[in-house]
Amino acid sequence: MFLSRPNVAVSIYGGILSKKNLFSLALKMSSKTASASPYFQDVKRLTRSQAKLILGSQDQPSVVSSSRTSATETRKPQISKLKRPHVPVRYESRTTSRPPPKKVLSNSAKPSKPRKATLKFDPEADMKTDDANADKQKDEDFKEKSQAKGWEPVRWKETLDFIREMRKEKDAPVDSMGAEKIGDHDAAPEVFRYHVLLSLLLSSQTKDQVTSAAMMALRNHGCTVDNILKTSDQKIGELIYPVGFWKKKIDYIKRTSQVLKDKYNGDIPATLEGLVKLPGIGPKMAHIIMDVGWNKVTGIGVDTHVHRITNRLKWVKKPTTVPEDTRKGLEDWLPRELWSEVNVLLVGFGQQTCLPVNPRCSECLCKDLCPYGRSALRYGSPKRKEASPKKK
Ligand code: SF4
């Protein structure tokens, strides 16, 4: 009664079936009969490959007979054998299988583009490079030595000796018209100190020649505290003109003179703190007044020349932009016994050789020791912009 599929095929068609017909019959039976007939609910659907396998086993066309029932039944397990065998997947740990992360290079660490090689041969350039390397090595040696005993500039003693040598004639404007030169040495000590104070007050933003002329005019007029307080502002203006900021300086002179009369009995303060409280007197002036007026060294007087030259010579640990920082930087290492000398020495050197613009490096004895000069002579101009406060 209940026949398997091949038997049904035999009952319908009978006789010999071609491979093609048998294949299509097998497909039909798998798709339709399974759902249409309750009798074929247990019949599993065949895949194409399973059907092909069945057909493939029948190399020769044969008579489909009831004897095949047993053959197909026996083949079923063989089909299941052809299922893809389960191969366990090995999952390797990500940490081992992942490629190492790429290094992110910062801008500074990025390799720079290789420069194109130049085939030119320039013996002069090679010699310059050798000189530069030798200088660099020397500087490094001195740096190492100086680091052992605290920071100090490279070969500063040699440099100072060269500057002394260049300044030995003492023929710079500061040598004849500096603050200590234009006061009246024959006057009473407190009057001389008053002259020192006024000459420094007038010297700000003014050339030594102009300051000296103004001071001589005041002396001829009668330069004492009492007399200046009696003099009109207009008259003082006529005497000191054309010093820089002459109108403002009239006010400073009058107010300072009044403080000296009221608080110091016509003399000047004997302390740095007292001096810097006076109108128009800054730290640079106060240190020089203490040195020249009271013969006490309280600090280095750093004006525009000292500031510029010491930065060019790298006499300060780090480049400075204001004279007050330069003063602190110098006082850190320069022996105290040189503080008084260095002001006049460098001011005169700045007036004659190490000029603010176009310094005379080729004539300078320090040209092999001075970083600015070496750079200027090798390359025509310094590599870096120097610190340059306002011109005096
Ligand atoms: S070499 Fe030039 S920059 Fe240096 S100290 Fe001499 S003049 Fe000044």
Could you tell me if residue 171 is inside a domain? Answer: no
Atom of ligand 1 nearest to the CA of 312: 3
Nearest to 58 by CA among 75, 40, 35, 33: 75
pLDDT for the residue 50? 73
360 Cβ inside 6 Å of ligand 1:
yes
Question: Of 314, 353, 358, 361, which is best to mutate to test ligand 1, by the most ligand atoms within 8 angstroms of its C-beta?
Answer: 361
Could you tell me if residue 67 is inside a domain? Answer: yes
Over the range 231-260, which residues count as b (16 or more CB within 10 Å of their CB) and which as e? Answer: beeeebeebbeebeebeebbebbbebbebb
Task: Quick: pLDDT tens for 248-258.
Answer: 999 999 999 99
Nearest to 349 by CA among 154, 156, 207, 174: 174
My answer on whether omega of the bond before 88 falls inside 30° of 0, hence cis, is: no
Chain mean position to CA 41: 85
pLDDT for the residue 107? 47
DSSP label at residue 343: H
pLDDT for the residue 27? 61
The answer to whether 343 touches 300, Cβ cutoff 8 Å, is: yes
pLDDT for the residue 332? 95
Task: Quick: pLDDT tens for 89-124.
Answer: 555 444 444 555 555 444 444 444 545 444 444 555
pLDDT for the residue 46? 66
pLDDT for the residue 13? 47
> How many A from CA of 370 to the centre of ligand 1?
6
> How many A from CA of 372 to the centre of ligand 1?
7
Could you tell me if residue 91 is inside a domain? Answer: no
C-alpha distances out from residue 377 to 135, 328, 336, 369, 373, Å = 14, 30, 33, 12, 6
Of all protein residues, the one whose alpha carbon is nearest to atom 8 of ligand 1 is 354
> In the listed set 262, 294, 326, which residue is the last one of a domain according to the structure?
294
How far apart (Å, rounded) are the C-alpha atoms in residues 250 and 290?
23
Among 249, 284, 314, 392, the one annotated catalytic? 284
367 Cβ inside 6 Å of ligand 1:
yes
Of all protein residues, the one whose alpha carbon is nearest to atom 3 of ligand 1 is 373
Could you tell me if residue 23 is inside a domain? Answer: yes
pLDDT for the residue 321? 97
> In the listed set 272, 294, 316, which residue is the last one of a domain according to the structure?
294
Could you tell me if residue 76 is inside a domain? Answer: yes
Residue 216 has a CB neighbour count (10 Å cut-off) of: 15
| Torsion region of 131: left, alpha or beta (phi above 0 gives left; psi -120 to 50 gives alpha) | alpha
Could you tell me if residue 215 is inside a domain? Answer: yes
Nearest to 198 by CA among 253, 141, 132: 253
359 Cβ inside 6 Å of ligand 1:
yes
Residue 278 is part of which domain span? 183-294
pLDDT for the residue 17? 57
Domain count, the chain: 2
- Taking the model in full, what pTM does it have? 0.62
Residue 339, token pair as written in the block: 């503080």
371 Cβ inside 6 Å of ligand 1:
no
Could you tell me if residue 189 is inside a domain? Answer: yes
Q: Which CATH number is 190's domain given? A: 1.10.340.30
Nearest to 314 by CA among 132, 163, 159: 159
pLDDT for the residue 150? 85
Of all protein residues, the one whose alpha carbon is nearest to atom 2 of ligand 1 is 361
Low-confidence ranges of the chain (pLDDT < 70): 1-46, 51, 54-149, 381-392
Could you tell me if residue 50 is inside a domain? Answer: yes
Nearest to 152 by CA among 139, 140, 161, 143: 143
> In the listed set 80, 112, 130, which residue is the last one of a domain according to the structure?
80
Catalytic-residue membership of 284? yes
> How many A from CA of 141 to the centre of ligand 1?
22
Mark out the alpha helices in 204-263 (DSSP H runs).
208-221, 225-230, 233-240, 246-263
